[in-house]
Amino acid sequence: MTLTIIRNADDLSARYDIAIVGAGPAGMAAATECARLGLAVVVFDENAEAGGQIYRAIERNTRAGRPYLGSDYGRGAGLWAAFCATAASHVPSAAVWSLEQQGEGAAALAELRVSVAGRSRIVLARRVVLATGATERPMPVRGWTLPGVMSVGAAQIALKASALLPEGPVVLTGSGPLLYLYADQVLAAGGTIDAILETTPRRNWLRAAPHVFSFLASPYAWKGLGLMLRVRRAVRVFRAVTALEITGKDRADGVTFMAGGKTVSLPARSVFLHQGVIPHANLANAAGCALAWNDRQKCFAPVVDGEGRSTRPAIFIAGDGNGIAGAVVAEFDGRIAGIAAGLEVLGAGSSEASRRFVRLRKRALRGRAFIDLAYQPALSFRAPAAGDVVACRCEEVSVGAIREAAALGVAGPNQLKTMLRCGMGPCQGRMCAATVTELLADAQQRHPADVGTYRLRPPIKPVPLCEIAALPHTSEAVYAVTGGHSGH
């Protein structure tokens, strides 16, 4: 058995047993388990290569060639090899822009509309596993739209995919372990990091304290400690940073912030922002899967059961797309969801393999609560106060405009969208949804769960009208547009 690579929409089958969206750790693991059950499996992924963000370019990178990526990155090689040994079909550079459930209960089907190489096709699957991963939480501050400013995750993509090191002076700012992981990788690759500005509030450590023993019993503790010690020996670190601003006219040239009761200014040509990641749930949202507020991770996430079933029977969700837990947990999540979805297609009962992966996932989750609470981003960066800061980059809507609408009693993000166009740009709210919810909650003194998030509809990815028009349409759809039933 070998993996089949599909690069043209016309080569897709009209129907599969299992469709998987995303080829990161959860997606590759789910595909491997489903293929072992003898099912017809297709994996759609936006990237040109499998691996997702954490294992990006795993097909090409080797430990000898890029040792600075670390041993955790090397785990992806085994996942990739197992995925390649299956009879699944892998569709790289594919954008799934619509997902709908047809029917209900055990007979439900998933209908996917996917764009590949300039053409769109409709694909049916008896079950779909969404393994869409995470997206970085937006960190809107003054100057974050300047050239030279990007997310730490984007900078890490350049390092993994092309071995590109940032141009100095380099400043990393925000909260979360990824700041130190990326800094360590850059230093090991021969680059420089001039400063790390930690925006994590000091009081977070007190809130995380009840979970410290579980954390110390996890592999996170000693890996994290060693990572931080290595970086802090080589990089200047400022803690409890507030009032951050990126300066520059045509591009970033420095940062100004408060730390230790003093105003500090540093030169910077490359500024990388990060304050954790949140589930990339746009496709699940548009498909009608219920979302719920996760107060520990400060984000909305799809509602799933212990095997990844969403509130839509045909749709399973695995990995960071249903709650942030890291690559190892995402792999076990993918295996559990893949087995559960596959057994439903086969009409079979539960599996001992699935129960084993549930136990492994539980063990891998040890220490996660401590990390979530310790690195929870400060409210001042989740819901900035400065009115001139851009909140929605696509439509250039400011924090001030959103707070003014909140004062007028706007009901929530969806009403705000009709007033200010927030969330109507190409990213479909990916870069502003979290900020809009937090801003409205802060301004109106409501809980984010009550404020809600955007209600999304397809297409959730930009797709040319000619591709949509070329798809087969029902007579009702034709009549709605043309007034006739001819279908022409």
pLDDT tens for residues 417-435?
999 999 998 888 989 999 9
Q: What is the DSSP secondary structure assignment for residue 11, as one 8-state letter?
A: G
User: What is the average pLDDT across 153-180?
Assistant: 95
Mark out the alpha helices in 200-268 (DSSP H runs). Answer: 204-208, 212-216, 219-234
CA distance 33 to 29: 6
What pLDDT score was predicted for residue 372?
95
- What are the Cα distances from residue 106, in Å, to 15, 346, 429? 17, 11, 32
Class of domain 383-451: mainly alpha
CA distance 477 to 465: 15
pLDDT digits (tens, 9 = 90+) for 469-487: 899 887 777 777 788 765 4
Residue 348: pLDDT band (50, 70, 90) is confident
Amino acid at 156: Q
pLDDT surpassing 90 at residue 74: no
What pLDDT score was predicted for residue 488?
47
pLDDT digits (tens, 9 = 90+) for 312-346: 999 999 999 999 999 999 999 999 999 999 999 99
With tokens 């785990």, the residue in question is 75
Domain boundaries, the chain: 4-135+278-349, 140-274, 383-451
What rounded mean pLDDT belongs to the chain? Answer: 94
Lowest mean pLDDT among 3-7, 55-59, 363-367: 55-59
4-135+278-349 under CATH 3.50.50.60, yes or no = yes
Task: Find out whether 59 and 50 touch, Cβ atoms under 8 Å.
Answer: yes
Name the more confident of 222 and 176.
176
pLDDT digits (tens, 9 = 90+) for 209-242: 999 999 998 888 888 889 999 999 999 999 999 9
Matching fold, domains 4-135+278-349 and 140-274: yes
Residue 29: pLDDT band (50, 70, 90) is very high
What pLDDT score was predicted for residue 70?
82
Task: Find out whether 278 and 297 touch, Cβ atoms under 8 Å.
Answer: yes
The DSSP line for 53-79 is TTTTTTTT--TTT-GGG-HHHHHHHHH
What pLDDT score was predicted for residue 180?
96
User: What is the average pLDDT across 17-24?
Assistant: 97
CATH topology of domain 140-274: FAD/NAD(P)-binding domain (3.50.50)
Tally Cβ neighbours within 10 Å of residue 137: 26
Q: What is the pTM of this model?
A: 0.93
What pLDDT score was predicted for residue 485?
67
The percent of residues in the chain predicted with pLDDT above 90, rounded, is: 84
Residue 332: partners with Cβ closer than 8 Å, 6 or more residues away: 29, 357, 358, 360, 361, 364
